[in-house]
Structure 1
Amino acid sequence: MKEDELKIEFEILIEEIHGFKNPARIKIKDGKLLKEFGNILNDSKFTDVTIITADKKELRAHKNILAARSKVFEAMFDHELEESKLNQVYINDFNEEVIRQMLQYSYTGKLTKLDDLNADLLAIAHKYELQELEEMCVNSLLEKLSIETAAEAFKLGDLYTYQILKESAVNMMKQHAASWIREDASNEPQVLVNISEIITNLQKLKEAEDCKDEQ
């Protein structure tokens, strides 16, 4: 090396950076899939089954979607039953509004009239083994629970074996019945009927449990 030259040596250390994520992203709109399935429900194109309601209305649907959501529909369409042969399903115990809501849930997982139809939707969900819909209905009943609705909630809890509904209805009565009777009984006699119904139902349940214990 010459006297007027300066020699510099250095090392470059390259390390692999684990977990690096590129922050750039394309924004994807939420709910597109649900919207498209909702459109499928509202468009009769490619439908292959007709549901006939208690009020004689005809609703078009898709077997594969119904079967994917409900084991009852799956069994119905998977065997040589009349519904599978004729591509018609008669639902004689629910009207158009309730069945439309059930279909809306089956296609999109969403409901627009849950609070208004929670008791009927609980019944149809139980019939077609739509467990998530059942639970949505029970939660709606619990959220709307009052001294006026406690008797109905108790009966539904007993019918569909939801202990949480029965217990919540009884607790509602215990907490509010005495004060309500003092203040409003003369104005709303129906609530007194509700209280009486719960007491009667509780007595019947106790008698049934006593009979089981004796056997």
Structure 2
Amino acid sequence: MDDTIKVPITFEKVDDDLTCVKWTTWLNKTTSICQARETERFQLNHAPFDVCYFNVSCVYNFVVKDDGSRRYCFEIFLTQVKSFKMATVNVNDTSPVSLIGPLDSHRRRPYAVWSTINGNAITLKEVGLRHGFWKSSKTYASIANLQPPLISCLLWIKFKMFGVGEISALNHMADLLARQTHSDVQFCFGNGEKIGGHVAILSARSPVFAAMFQHDMQESKTRKVVIEDIVPEIFKELLHYIYSGRCSTPLTEGTAQPLFVAADKYDIKDLKEDCVQYLLPCVTVKNAVELLIWADLQSIDKLKEATLDCVISNGKEICHQEEWEKLMKSYPDLCLTVTRRMVDIAKFPSSKRSRTEFKVPG
């Protein structure tokens, strides 16, 4: 790889716990059989004595389509290491080693990681018994006929501070739910499934549960709660978050929306924010209208603005979609908002980008 064509990694601090890392690189020549890998390293400075070191790798190969274009298969790996003196980790090795050292003091670690490659959204999952080793599922993307081809990878890294005492306390809390010990309330589902909970913990984390169990309501007398509008898998994730502060599995586009709705019903604000932060980089030309409608119905202003920007920036393509017809027929007020924005941009092109441009591939 010629170092002269490498683009430096850039960072954007979204808030104290969320950082967006932009990594742009040129792909080497490879075949559909042989894999190639691009690797870079970077550090994030959260405080004078809180520096995090990372290796990021993109493993890829491609297949040639009938029209001669290349369809690439990607996997992304993010590794938090003690220092840059550590060798790059073998991405095929999942043995139980610690990459960031013992948690004998508070240390900032990634809590959730997700990414887009040329606009294609993927989620990274912490692998096996390792701490600080994140791996994505395989994703496919067509790349324009560039010589050599260019990829732009955005990594969103959400951090939390972890310490031994904190982890131990959270593990004990989660064990109460996992082992179903000392339960004093039962959640009942339509399929006959039941799961136990603990009134004190639920009430402390949710004002809705607190009101349910503290007042003269049926649930406080029977200690049974019938769940009719949330599927068991989503409700279990909600409970896991209430007890441990994190989901048992990484968020996906399929779970983020129903989890937000469940968290909104029981007023779990931090889970709602996690779902929104996950969905923001998932906005694409294909799902922008659908997410716009959903964000409007849920009154999520931040996601609504992101989807509006995407729809307006890609209006010529989106107006031919079936989702656009649905927007016009079923949500005329929202359609009017989009149309007025488009007209304003056409009239005043100099103010076209008063907000951050949101141009994404389909």
Deviation at 1:34, TM superposition (A): 1.7
Residue matched to 2:333 = 204
Runs of at least 5 residues in structure 1 that lack an aligned partner in the other structure: 1-25, 186-191, 209-215
Q: In the alignment, which residue of structure 2 is the partner of 1:114? A: 251
Q: Does 1:142 align with 2:271?
A: no
Structure in which a larger fraction of residues adopt helix: 1
C-alpha separation in 1, matches of 2:280 and 2:238: 20
Residues matched between the structures, number: 174
Aligned pairs (5 A) from 1:40-119: 40-111=176-247, 112-115=249-252, 116-119=254-257
1:31 offset after TM fit, Å?
Answer: 2.0
TM superposition score normalised by structure 1: 0.72
TM-score (norm 2): 0.44
Residue identity opposite 1:136 in structure 2 = D
Counterpart code for 1:168:
A
Larger mean CA deviation between 194-203 and 68-77 belongs to 194-203
Highest Rg: 1 or 2? 1
CA contact 2:327–2:334 (8 Å) conserved in 1:
no
Matches within 5 A, 1:19-34: 27=104, 29=164, 31-34=167-170
- Cα deviation, residue 42, structure 1: 0.4
* CA deviation after TM superposition for structure 1 residue 109, in Å: 0.7
Among the aligned pairs, what percent are the same residue? 27
Q: In 1, distance between residues paired with 2:234 and 2:328?
A: 31
Question: Structure 1 residues 110, 198: CA separation in 2 closer, same or farther (over 3 Å shift)?
Answer: same
Quickly say closer, same or farther: Cα 1:121–1:67, change in 2 above 3 A.
same
Write 1 or 2 for the structure with the bigger share of strand.
Answer: 2
CA contact (8 A) 2:289 2:311 kept: no
Per-residue deviation at 1:195? 2.8
Name the counterpart of 2:173: 37
The equivalent position to 2:308 in structure 1, one of 155, 158, 170, is: 170
For 2:292, give the aligned amino acid: F
SS at match of 1:114: coil
Give the C-alpha shift of residue 54 in structure 1. Answer: 4.1
